[in-house]
Amino acid sequence: MAQTITQKILAAHCGRQEVHPGEIIMADVDLALGNDITAPIAIRILRERGIKEVFDRDKIALVPDHFAPNKDIASAQQCKDLRDFARDYAITHYFELGEMGVEHALLPEKGLVLPGDLVVGADSHTCTYGALGAFSMGVGSTDLAGAMMSGKAWFKVPGAMKFIIEGQLKPWVGGKDLILFIIGKIGVDGALYRSMEFTGSTIRSLPMDDRFAMCNMAIEAGAKNGVIEPDAVTEEYVRERAARPWKFFASDADALYEEVVEVAAGDVELQVAFPHLPENARPVGEAHGVAIDQVVVGSCTNGRLEDLRIAARVMEGRKVAPGVRMIVIPATPLIYRQAMEEGLFATFLSAGAVISTPTCGPCLGGHMGILAEGERAVATTNRNFVGRMGHPRSEVYLSGPAVAAASAVTGTISSPEDL
């Protein structure tokens, strides 16, 4: 039977030639990931059960990124739980401050996730790694505990949707705009428990940073995973990072899809998702005149180097509007260094923005940019639910880095073309 890339990866990890949508399987994992919110629960399970060793200390990654640098006593204790566990169980891939970055940017950068891998993470945006041609999905803390003990996890094989995107993108339009446009078309449950496979000439021309942004937000359409077939762009990215072999999988030409959605890239405008759901995506022109209080450029969706370059290009020679706070958060220490060495920080600082150490911070309403009652933010993050970034009566508008930077300059939601 013809198989999709997702089915092939799952089959390879459970010792079978093929798997079928709806089947329950038990499969080997190549990496199990936890952060400072989700991993302490899993750690407690292992300790309470007297488990003295993990299945493979090289196949677990712990990244305290959500409330780090520690914002209060409770978060300090959670981070300490990870630190102590990493020491006691000799976990190879534990990333503390100085090495710590936003997990879904950090692990690919470190070469810990590769094409053909099967990855589980106790964080919903683990689906990001599908950009590398891996199968990756979020799990609960108890499933993470099971994976750390056994090296295995159970899966219900998802059905698949194919998104064929053809043509050339308009100026400033990128992966974030594409995925917001798609979610706007199908809704936040439009891909419920399905695999979202992105293909077409537009996808093949996208750099890795845009591919990561697209797969990162598959979960916002209810998908189990997002995935892009690996190609020369993928190989160039992983070749300089990988410390172990990888394998490219590709969907069969006659693989079955529950739905096929075609998108003409030239029809996609710069997007803004209005509160309080990512599916409320509209062309940026429909948001003109909406006054804002804060702009955040960062997160596991758009905190990579190319995102910062785009924002800096918009900000060059300009100032943040009076009364607006602009927060720039490079996703990893390497991105931080590269942005600094390229002069991007000088541009942001001259404009009146502030630069944060790598952290998830404001994305989840953690710290480093909480909104007060009645405040509005434009953010390159992935969710704009009620109270996501602070007060329940605050508002978050999602966009890519170009719109975020332009909005910081004007003080209202704007396109770079408006400047």
Q: What pLDDT score was predicted for residue 238?
A: 97
Q: Are residues 248 and 285 in the same domain?
A: no
What is the chain's mean pLDDT, rounded?
Answer: 96
- CA 234/CA 116 separation, integer angstroms: 12
Residue whose C-alpha is closest to residue 283's, from 412, 173, 164 = 173
Q: Are residues 288 and 214 in the same domain?
A: no
Q: Which residues contact 378 (CB under 8 A, 6 or more apart)?
A: 272, 292, 294, 295, 296, 396, 397, 398, 399, 403, 404, 407, 408, 413
Tokens of 59: 């196949």
Indicate the residue among 263, 294, 324 that finishes a domain.
Answer: 263
Q: What pLDDT score was predicted for residue 12?
A: 97
Q: How confident is the model at residue 318 (pLDDT cuts 50, 70, 90)?
A: very high
Q: How confident is the model at residue 299 (pLDDT cuts 50, 70, 90)?
A: very high
Q: How confident is the model at residue 312 (pLDDT cuts 50, 70, 90)?
A: very high
pLDDT above 90: residue 45? yes
- CA 95/CA 103 separation, integer angstroms: 9
Q: What pLDDT score was predicted for residue 280?
A: 97
Angle value at C-alpha 270, between 192 and 295, nearest 5 degrees: 90
Q: Are residues 110 and 206 in the same domain?
A: yes
Residue whose C-alpha is closest to residue 194's, from 156, 248, 141 = 156
Q: Are residues 82 and 122 in the same domain?
A: yes
Q: Are residues 170 and 75 in the same domain?
A: yes
Q: What is the mean pLDDT of residues 188-215?
A: 96
Q: What pLDDT score was predicted for residue 159?
A: 96
Q: Are residues 213 and 362 in the same domain?
A: no
Is residue 268 in a domain? no
Q: How confident is the model at residue 1 (pLDDT cuts 50, 70, 90)?
A: confident
Question: How do residues 159-179 score in pLDDT, each as one tens digit?
Answer: 999 999 999 999 999 999 999
pLDDT above 90: residue 203? yes
Question: How do residues 73-99 score in pLDDT, each as one tens digit?
Answer: 999 999 999 999 999 999 999 999 899
Q: Are residues 244 and 339 in the same domain?
A: no
* Backbone φ, ψ for residue 65 (5° rounding): -120, -15
Q: Name the residue range of residue 304's domain.
A: 273-418
